[in-house]
Amino acid sequence: MNNKQFRKMKTNNDLGLLIMRIVMAFTMLTYGINKLIHGISSIQQLLQSLGLPSFLANGVYVGEIIAPIMILFGYKVRLASLIFAFNCLMALLLTQTQNIFALNEGGGWAIEQLAIFIVIPVALFFTGSGKYSISRIGKSENVNCYES
């Protein structure tokens, strides 16, 4: 494919948003399911050691299971994205602040995954779900698909 053909390619922002939602939500769901199986006692202990109430650890279920499911299916993506990003920001602040300016063993940014898990949901907050979402079921083609 030459440069001229490449520039004429049709873009599909909605498909791009769907792919981004699927990959991000599925990846985070694996962490949430792991916490469902093995519990959140380590998070509760961390919060208690910082003088915070341990019940706040239950928020991880919202941020790592409920919000990703909402994002995956395209339901209230803007709200779910804010919850998702906040969950990851709290994980960063509670466990990774010492690594903000550090590199990992491979030379990459030590907090790259958390950074991605914070920035992509913020982008989804601004774009909305796109047309491939539950929020679009039953709506006419003229409705703005970026509202949810």
Specify which residues 109 forms β-bridges with: 103
| pLDDT tier at 148, thresholds 50, 70, 90 | low
CA distance 56 to 58: 5
Mean pLDDT of 112-136: 95
CB distance 128 to 78 below 8 Å: yes
What residues have CB less than 8 Å from 89, skipping those under 6 apart?
A: 118
- Tens digits of residue pLDDT in 12-61: 999 999 999 999 999 999 999 999 999 999 999 999 999 999 999 999 99
CA distance 83 to 59: 10
pLDDT number for residue 140: 62
Span of 49-58, 72-81, 84-93, 134-143 with lowest mean pLDDT: 134-143
CA distance 124 to 13: 12
Task: Using the structure block, give the residue that is written with the tokens 């491979």.
Answer: 106
